[in-house]
Amino acid sequence: MNMASPIATAQEKDPMPQTPKITRRQVRLAAQSCLDEATLQAFLFDAKIPSGRLSGTSLQERILGLLQFVEADDLFEFFIEWMQIERRPCFERALAERQQRATAPETKTETKPDDTAQSAQPVSPAAIRQMLYDFLPASADFDAFLIDFFPTEVRRRFVDTADRQSKHNLLMQLVDRSQIVDALRRRSPIAFARLMGLP
């Protein structure tokens, strides 16, 4: 699918500044901030994607479905370029906010020996499942977590129709449990510390 011509034409009229490396998480959060139903439909039209190809009933679920679809069909860069043209002010503002948060200096906390021992202990599958439910209560949250922290090869193994428990089990079969815990910690450090009883 050749999508370069509309972008090239638009860029000739209004050249975009070079964007620093954008993470999948930043793109997802910016998309959730900047896309409404009409804009989502406009992208589907421009990219020649039938709207029935997206799963989900809510706008947020459909945006996640779109991101999974464009990544699987190698349209992710096209989607970013399209957002930079069609939703430029919102997209740049959302990315700038994410970049600021990512580069903000972290406050150092003193690590106690208990903290290291507790985080080094293996976590049981049952505890992982409970953490996934606690940190990611909605299916859309779980899908976003997969997009943000795990490679495409892992995400492609998930079927939209699978129930939540099956998805949790499959994730634990594909990814080491310590990686899942680390991803949860990175996604929500304050909530993670609170839940784990860390200071």
Domain ranges of the chain: 4-103, 113-189
**pLDDT above 80: residue 45:** yes
What are the pLDDT digits (tens) for 71-103?
888 888 999 999 999 988 888 888 887 666 655
In the structure, what pLDDT confidence band is assigned to residue 59 with cuts at 50, 70 and 90? Answer: confident
Model pLDDT, residue 91: 87
Residue 100 or 56, more confident = 56
In the structure, what pLDDT confidence band is assigned to residue 108 with cuts at 50, 70 and 90? Answer: very low
Residue 191 or 15, more confident = 191
Model pLDDT, residue 134: 83
- Region 29-50: mean pLDDT is 89
Model pLDDT, residue 103: 56
pTM of the model: 0.50
**Rounded-to-integer distance, Cα 129 and Cα 125, Å:** 6
As a whole number, the mean pLDDT across the chain is 76
What are the pLDDT digits (tens) for 138-156?
888 888 888 888 877 777 7
Taken in order 178, 108, 136, 103, the sign of the CA dihedral is negative
Residue 179 or 18, more confident = 179
Model pLDDT, residue 93: 84
Model pLDDT, residue 12: 43
